Amino acid sequence: MNILDRQEQIANAFKGIHENILAEFKQHEKEENIIDDHWEKHGLGTGHSVIIDDGEFFGKAGINFSNIKGEKLPASSVGSINKSSGLPYFATGVSVVFHPKNPNIPTSHLNIRYFCTYKNNEVFEEWFGGGFDLTPYVLDEDDCRDWHQSAKNACDTLGKEYFELFKKNCDEYFFLPHRKEHRGIGGIFYEKQTFKNTAEGLNFSQQVAIAFTEAYKKIITKHKNTEYSDEDTKFQRFRRGRYVEFNLVYDRGTLFGLQSGGRIESILMSLPNAVEWHYKFDSKLTDKQEKLYEALKNPINWIDNV
């Protein structure tokens, strides 16, 4: 198969996953609040960004598919100088962030992506990356266990050793050193993952997306009617500041997007619509909030704790 046909086939696999996620989550929001944006950026690629901004159910949501090519792979995308750095590349993937209005429903994030570089018109290296993680504002331990169990089920399709490895990656990656805090209660994260063949990688990407969708649906259903106060919203907006701090200071995906001249609106769709920064706001926490902070300090083996 020639390079372009192969790229299209891979992109189509991710496009299909994107459409499944859309079908599942669009139903929670009023049609009129959903922005459906097919875009093309010259010299970069194409994409399909579906955004909810100041919606009824979602404060902000972004469900993005992208399909990009570049002449020179920037160093940030591979973490460090690497043999593929500087080569032409192809990348496609799906990136999802949900910030529901109700503070009882955590923010969630999913990313699955395919990357390859070319040398002499042949694939030189290819790898997959992705994962999903959960950022609660109110800690619900059952939710955390279910979330990690879903992640484990997806990983087990690859082999028994993967969940522990990918969970550890996630705990290490979504960490804010300046706050000595994790972004949330984790999930899984993998980078530069190679597979037996491309099909196996695509299949795993799909398993991850399904696990995310099922787990998050369950959480939404459980909490969507839970009442909350203005104080709960204020605390949620304050905690969303940490989400912004992570994404702008540490997230390699964001850095790669900014460096590679990516489409800013799609890269920064992950940022919540309403965020507050307050001085020492968390120096006095309620018992419930204290429990959340404890869980963000040291990663927990949620499934072993059952």
**Please, what is the end-to-end C-alpha distance for the chain in angstroms?**
48
Q: Which of 82, 153, 157, 273: binder of a copy of itself (CB under 8 A)?
A: 273
Concerning whether 42 is annotated as a catalytic residue, the answer is no
What SS3 class is residue 98?
Answer: strand
Nearer to a copy of itself, 205 or 266 (CB): 266
Dihedral, CA of residue 296, residue 297, residue 301 and residue 302, to nearest 10: -30
Minimal distance in Å, beta carbon 275 to a copy of itself?
5
Q: Which of 141, 276, 285, 303: binder of a copy of itself (CB under 8 A)?
A: 276
Q: Using alpha carbons only, what angle is made at residue 34 by residues 28 and 35, rounded to the nearest 5 degrees?
A: 155
**Helices 198-223 and 3-25, axial angle in degrees (round to 10):** 10
- Of 48, 109, 182, 223, which residue is the catalytic one? 109
Binding mask 196-235 for a copy of itself (x = CB under 8 A): ----------------------------------------
Within residues 6-65, the interface with a copy of itself by CB under 8 A covers 35, 49, 51, 53-54, 60, 62
- The Cα–Cα gap between 108 and 151 comes to 13
Question: Residue 100, CB half-sphere, CA atoms under 13 Å: how many?
Answer: 28
Nearer to a copy of itself, 110 or 275 (CB): 275
Catalog residues that contact a copy of itself under the rule CB under 8 A.
Answer: 35, 49, 51, 53-54, 60, 62, 177-179, 241, 244-245, 248-249, 258, 264-265, 268-269, 271-280
